[in-house]
Amino acid sequence: MAETHPFRLHPDEVARQARLFFGEQLGLPLVRDLAGFLRFEDVHGFVEIDIRGDANNQSRVTFQYQGYEQEVHQFRRLLAEQAEEETRQGE
């Protein structure tokens, strides 16, 4: 499954949050960490995150995953909430 979503967050912040959420909180091993591309994987499946910078410190994030649908959706909600909060604070 693959899906792309825009977020009003800097690409580095998206990557940092992904490492925290999938790596530290869920305990998924980070098996690939390239510029703007992260892959977490274990015997139950994988999550790939491709982060591309967009205008005004925004990001276009493509998720590919197998076996972690609920976790990816939860992470997307987390990013959206963080972006909303940062936008509110900037006003």
The closest alpha carbon to 78, from 12, 11, 18, 19, belongs to: 18
Mean pLDDT of all residues in 18-42: 96
Tens-digit pLDDT profile for residues 44-72: 999 999 999 987 779 999 999 999 999 99
**Distance, C-alpha 37 to centroid of its chain:** 10
Confidence class of residue 90 from pLDDT cuts 50, 70 and 90?
low
Which pairing describes strands 58-66 and 37-42: parallel, antiparallel, or unpaired? unpaired
Rg (CA), the chain: 13
Q: Are 6 and 51 in contact (CB under 8 A)?
A: no
- pLDDT beyond 60 at 91: no
Mean pLDDT of all residues in 29-47: 96
Q: Which residues are 5's β-sheet partners?
A: 61
